[in-house]
Amino acid sequence: MLIALCVVAAVVLLLVLHLAAVPLAKNRPVLLRGAEPAVALALFLVCLSALAPFLWSLLVLQAVVGVVWRPWVVIGVPRDQVEASIVKAAGMVRLKIGRPDASYALAGIGAAHVGGFGRVTVIGFRIRRTKKLVLFQNVLRKTIQNLVLTVGWVPTNRGESWQPRKP
């Protein structure tokens, strides 16, 4: 049992390094989407549930959230840059976009919900699968991955979004 747990922990570590080390080494944000982060989280929960058996219920919750909501998690850039990337990607694929509330209404396709705190942003899509959507998601993925992590930027009290730190 202990050997199997160590093997699963090694696979989790390898997946996390694959997902996070390469973008961070290139000073890019970490974008977690699709099956790889879901598998990494599931294996991590399996490792934790060996210590605390009640955590098996989190696997069911993770599966439901992953299937229904299909979240993208962006780590390393603030929410306003992710929102600007959504508007930019929609413009690139000539997709009409509206902002009636906290989400973005994508014309004829559905909505993209953006939420988060600090430098961790979650994007959820409630959409119909169309060719235009697939194109929008690919352009959005590449736009987000081309953002650059900035070190030394702090929020100000004057209402501006972000200002560079004075040397």
What whole-number distance in Å separates Cα of residue 136 and Cα of residue 107?
12
- Could you tell me where in the chain the CATH 3.30.310.80 domains are found? 71-147
pTM: 0.77
- pLDDT value for 139: 95
What whole-number distance in Å separates Cα of residue 6 and Cα of residue 50?
11
Mean pLDDT of 43-66: 82
pLDDT digits (tens, 9 = 90+) for 130-163: 888 889 999 999 999 999 886 655 455 555 555 5
The architecture CATH gives domain 71-147: 2-Layer Sandwich (3.30)
Half-sphere exposure of 11 (CA within 13 A, CB side): 17
